[in-house]
Amino acid sequence: MDVKILGSGCVNCRNLEANTRQALAEMGEDAEIDRVTDEGEIVAWGVMSTPALVVDDEVVVSGRVPTPEQLQRLIRSST
């Protein structure tokens, strides 16, 4: 599973990463999480509001920080 957190590294970006790590751990998934902070690359994903989560080359959420439980549902529906 390829997971990316898109954002500047702000508090919400760090919270999204922490919630994503928790969701993946609870799902028993072992995934490496890449942080993308380059504005050009973020815009190339079509993201206008950060933080955003990309799973297997699909933007599954942007502009908010879902709970670990919500993230589990989003991740399952994207794979």
20: how many CB neighbours lie within 10 A of its CB? 27
Catalytic entry in 2, 8, 10, 48: 10
CB–CB of 67/21 below 8 Å?
Answer: no
- Angstrom distance (rounded) from CA 16 to CA 79: 19
* Coil/strand/helix, residue 23: helix
Q: Is 77 a catalytic residue?
A: no
Q: Is 10 a catalytic residue?
A: yes
Catalytic entry in 13, 53, 61, 65: 13
Catalytic amino acids? 10, 13
